């Protein structure tokens, strides 16, 4: 289920599903640990003997944010209960605490006895073993803890601070469902403490006059010890939760100002999606630099793993979006993180945890009895390319200096050596070469991919430009000549003159005796990733080969339903919905693939009329967003419903890239 309203500050991330249930609480890293393991944190209302959890069909829900900020604006109404609620949630921009203000209105015209219940089903450090939950009389709240991870839930209403009632007990042991069941009669048992696999529910009492209103504000503080919780709890009580919500609202509006120049020239729906995309991207970035792909843990039910890792490729493209939007602090943090995780020989492996450790992988280290490098070469290349884009934008020499050796010299040296040359004896610059086989950006096939080739050329050329800046001329010439040889290899081995298209992939044909590459077998499956040829600056968008390739992608990979959009490649099997008519539905439409067409129209536009063709794709993206502005990885080809994780950081970053490129081209053509 999509995470419709993520809120966070880079140290703490809280996500809500489309029913307004908290599903993920990450701390102290974005992406690690998820102290709910995806379990539902329930929210319910009791009024005059009638109870409804938030997932009850009687609720009408509108899940949005306040404009230009990471404070939610959630409207809830239940006819049977006769109540309307308006909730504002945020994670404080500085402290690790989730705050919520709930305003409640009577709709029946009667005096009302209302009780609000919040349920906490934590598995601290992603395990329910050894947790403790207890009522803390010194704070008037509930404390849950294990090891160095502590959480405190508390609240204030109009007249007092402290929770009114609570339940602490066992969950998922034997027949125990959890303390949330105890709330359904409107009264909680007030057990003082429990340990092991525990959960807790807290209640707040409100008295409403006929047609009247009241409110309660709650907070959940995360910290490394009890003393920090107690200190922050006292601070919230003294300053009031509303002041923390207000300062967080102001901070994100200030943060967003950097990247909003020119948005008034966009249609409202595109401008809103662009601004929301920047904020959503920020929620998925850890303060220590890791850019997390997605934090929607529902995907674990499909794959047995999640997306809460940093892929250097995704991170590099998101960093490029941050550069375009002027968010230099965030892109710097990412490149510093990359400088710590890159192998000393100059390459990245599959993916990494936010605390700089190697993450899970399905890339083998041995194939057919032979050792292979389990790499996706585009990941290494794109980090170098994006670092160059950052430097061109900000010219921060002191920042680049310590990264030059690990992220430029070592990476470029590895890329230049990790090649197969048609004639190994040819003089450098006179030969033809391609990168050795590695895994593709979709992480499904091993070979020599057009996307990877384009990324490698872009990465080597970026490294050569850095070398020239640093007076490292000999190395720079070597990397530039290596890039030129790979360009020749792209033209010779991946362009198919018969079909007038680039191959998706080429597989080396190896002499069994000598082990030398004797040629390449092309896979001519159409793949939207070939858009990298122009988007990374390898070929001009007006190049006849690029024009032919992009026309082929648009014709063959466009989903021919009312939903539309571009599939990744022909007969894409991942979460495949339509298997019978792949001519009509070659795969599910992906946001990033569709916006690659927008980038192409932007890049080749020579007048304002041509530029407007790109706007059609941006408006398509805006239609795919949820009410809150969240974008998924892919969509159902006939219903348009989100499929796989949501939000996907890469999806939102691609919106930022396409809009920034559109605005830049608009300024150029208007001039």
Q: Per DSSP, which regions of 95-253 are E strands?
A: 97-106, 112-120, 131-136, 141-146, 149-157, 165-170, 193-196, 198-208, 213-223
- List pLDDT tens digits, range 61-101: 999 999 999 999 999 999 999 999 999 999 999 999 999 99
- List pLDDT tens digits, range 565-593: 999 999 999 999 988 889 999 999 999 99
Give 165's pLDDT tier (boundaries 50, 70, 90). very high
Residue 452, H or E segment: helix 450-469
How many percent of the chain have pLDDT more than 70?
A: 100
**Cβ-proximal residues to 616 (8 Å cutoff; 6+ apart), any chain:** none
Residue 170 backbone phi and psi in degrees, to 5? -100, 145
Can you give the residue ranges of every domain in the chain? 39-256, 307-491+504-524
**CB-CB contact of 502 with 493 (8 Å):** no
Which of 73, 4, 100 has its CA nearest to residue 625? 4
> So what's the pLDDT on residue 1?
67
Give 223's pLDDT tier (boundaries 50, 70, 90). very high
Give 193's pLDDT tier (boundaries 50, 70, 90). very high
pLDDT at 429 over 80: no
- List pLDDT tens digits, range 648-663: 999 999 999 999 999 9
> So what's the pLDDT on residue 180?
92
- List pLDDT tens digits, range 577-635: 988 889 999 999 999 999 999 999 999 999 999 999 999 999 999 999 999 999 999 99
pLDDT at 261 over 90: no
230: β partners:
none
Strand, helix or coil for residue 229:
helix
Specify the range with the lowest mean pLDDT, choosing from 137-146, 202-211, 303-312.
Answer: 303-312
Burial 517-546 (b: 16+ CB within 10 A, else e): beebebbeebbbbbbbbbbbbbbebeeebb
> Stretch 42-68: mean pLDDT, rounded?
96
Supply the pTM of this predicted model.
Answer: 0.96
> So what's the pLDDT on residue 241?
97
> So what's the pLDDT on residue 499?
96
Architecture of domain 39-256: Distorted Sandwich (2.70)
Q: What is d(CA 551, CA 276) in angstroms, rounded to the nearest whole number?
A: 31
Cα distance between the two ends of the chain: 46
Going by the DSSP 8-state scheme, the letter that residue 3 receives in this structure is B
Q: What is d(CA 563, CA 404) in angstroms, rounded to the nearest whole number?
A: 45
Q: Which conformational region is residue 117 in: left (phi greater than 0), alpha (psi within -120 to 50 degrees), or beta?
A: beta
> So what's the pLDDT on residue 158?
87
**Cβ-proximal residues to 499 (8 Å cutoff; 6+ apart), any chain:** 524
pLDDT at 327 over 90: yes
Kindly write down the DSSP assignment for every residue of 378-419, as one continuous string: HHHHHHHHHHHHHHHHH--HHHHGGGIIIIIIHHHHHHHHSE
Q: 298, exposed or middle or buried, with CB in 10 Å at 0-12, 13-18, 19+?
A: middle
Q: What is d(CA 542, CA 606) in angstroms, rounded to the nearest whole number?
A: 10
pLDDT at 259 over 80: no
Helix 450-469 / helix 473-489 crossing angle, nearest 10 deg: 160
Which of 552, 396, 381 has its CA nearest to residue 456? 381
Architecture of domain 307-491+504-524: Alpha/alpha barrel (1.50)
> Stretch 112-123: mean pLDDT, rounded?
96
**CB-CB contact of 482 with 461 (8 Å):** no
Q: What is d(CA 565, CA 266) in angstroms, rounded to the nearest whole number?
A: 21
Question: Looking at beta carbons, which pairs linking 573-577 to residues 24 or more positions away fall under 8 Å?
Answer: 574/442, 574/444, 574/634, 574/644, 575/302, 575/634, 575/643, 575/644, 577/636, 577/637, 577/638, 577/643
Distance of CA 557 to the CA centre of its chain: 24
Helix 450-469 / helix 410-417 crossing angle, nearest 10 deg: 140
- List pLDDT tens digits, range 479-512: 999 999 999 999 999 999 999 999 999 999 988 7
Q: What is d(CA 214, CA 158) in angstroms, rounded to the nearest whole number?
A: 8
pLDDT at 303 over 90: no
Going by the DSSP 8-state scheme, the letter that residue 436 receives in this structure is P
- List pLDDT tens digits, range 433-457: 999 999 999 999 999 999 999 999 9
Q: What is d(CA 265, CA 435) in angstroms, rounded to the nearest whole number?
A: 43
**CB-CB contact of 342 with 348 (8 Å):** yes
Q: Cis link prior to 28 (omega < 30° from 0)?
A: yes
């Amino acid at each position: 289920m999509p995470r419709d309203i993520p809120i966070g500050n880079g140290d703490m991330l809280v996500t809500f599903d489309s029913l307004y249930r908290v599903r993920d609480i990450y701390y102290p890293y974005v992406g690690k640990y998820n102290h709910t393991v995806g379990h539902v944190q329930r929210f319910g209302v009791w009024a005059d003997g009638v109870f409804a959890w938030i997932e009850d069909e009687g609720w009408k829900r509108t899940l949005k944010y306040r404009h230009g900020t990471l404070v939610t604006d959630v409207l809830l109404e239940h006819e049977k209960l006769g109540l309307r609620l308006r909730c504002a949630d945020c994670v404080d921009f500085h402290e690790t605490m989730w705050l919520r203000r709930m305003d409640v209105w009577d709709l029946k015209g009667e005096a009302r006895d209302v009780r609000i219940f919040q349920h906490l089903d934590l598995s601290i450090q992603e395990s329910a073993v050894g947790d403790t939950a207890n009522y803390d009389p010194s704070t008037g709240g509930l404390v849950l803890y294990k090891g160095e991870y502590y959480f405190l839930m508390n609240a204030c209403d109009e007249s007092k601070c402290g929770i009114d009632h609570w339940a602490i007990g066992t969950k998922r042991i034997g027949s125990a469902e959890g303390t949330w069941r105890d709330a359904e009669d409107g009264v909680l048992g007030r057990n003082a403490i429990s340990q092991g696999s525990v959960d807790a529910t807290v209640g707040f009492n409100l008295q409403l006059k006929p047609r009247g209103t009241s409110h309660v504000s709650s907070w959940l503080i995360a910290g490394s010890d009890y003393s920090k919780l107690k200190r922050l709890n006292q601070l919230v009580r003294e300053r009031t939760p509303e002041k923390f919500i207000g300062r967080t609202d102001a901070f994100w509006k200030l943060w967003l100002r950097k990247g909003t120049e020119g948005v008034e020239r966009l249609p409202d729906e595109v401008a809103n999606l662009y601004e929301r995309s920047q904020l959503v991207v920020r929620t998925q970035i850890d303060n220590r630099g890791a850019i997390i792909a997605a934090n929607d843990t529902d995907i674990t039910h499909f794959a047995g793993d999640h997306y809460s890792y940093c892929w250097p490729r995704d991170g590099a493209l998101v960093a490029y979006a941050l550069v375009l939007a002027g968010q230099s602090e965030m892109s710097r943090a990412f490149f510093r993180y990359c400088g710590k995780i890159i192998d000393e020989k100059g390459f990245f492996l599959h993916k990494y945890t936010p605390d700089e450790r190697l993450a899970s992988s399905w890339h083998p280290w041995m194939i057919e009895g032979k050792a292979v490098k389990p790499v996706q070469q585009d990941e290494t290349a794109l980090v170098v390319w994006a670092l160059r884009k950052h430097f061109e934008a900000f010219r921060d020499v002191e920042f680049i200096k310590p990264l030059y050796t690990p992220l430029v010299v070592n990476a470029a040296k590895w890329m230049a050596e990790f090649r197969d040359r048609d004639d190994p004896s040819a003089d450098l610059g006179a030969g033809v070469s391609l990168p050795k086989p590695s895994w593709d950006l979709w992480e499904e096939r091993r070979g020599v991919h057009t996307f990877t080739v384009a990324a490698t050329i872009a990465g080597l050329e970026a490294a050569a430009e850095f070398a020239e800046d640093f007076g490292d001329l000999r190395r720079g010439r070597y990397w530039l000549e290596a890039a030129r040889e790979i360009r020749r290899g792209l033209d010779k081995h991946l362009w198919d003159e018969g079909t007038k298209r680039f191959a998706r992939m080429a597989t080396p044909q190896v002499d069994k005796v000598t082990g030398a590459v004797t040629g390449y077998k092309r896979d001519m499956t159409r793949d939207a990733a070939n858009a990298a040829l122009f988007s990374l600056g390898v070929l001009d968008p007006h190049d006849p080969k690029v024009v032919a390739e992009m026309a082929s992608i648009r014709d063959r990979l466009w989903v021919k339903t009312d939903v539309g959009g571009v599939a990744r490649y022909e007969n894409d099997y991942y979460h495949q919905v339509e298997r019978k008519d792949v001519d009509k539905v070659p795969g599910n439409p992906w946001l990033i693939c569709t916006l690659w067409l927008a980038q192409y129209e932007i890049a080749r536009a020579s007048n304002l009329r041509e530029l407007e063709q790109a706007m059609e794709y941006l408006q398509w993206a805006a239609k795919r967003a949820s009410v809150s502005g969240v974008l998924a990885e892919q969509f159902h080809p006939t219903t348009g419903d989100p499929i796989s994780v949501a939000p996907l950081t890469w999806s939102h970053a691609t919106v930022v890239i396409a809009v920034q490129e559109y605005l830049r081209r608009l300024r150029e053509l208007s001039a």
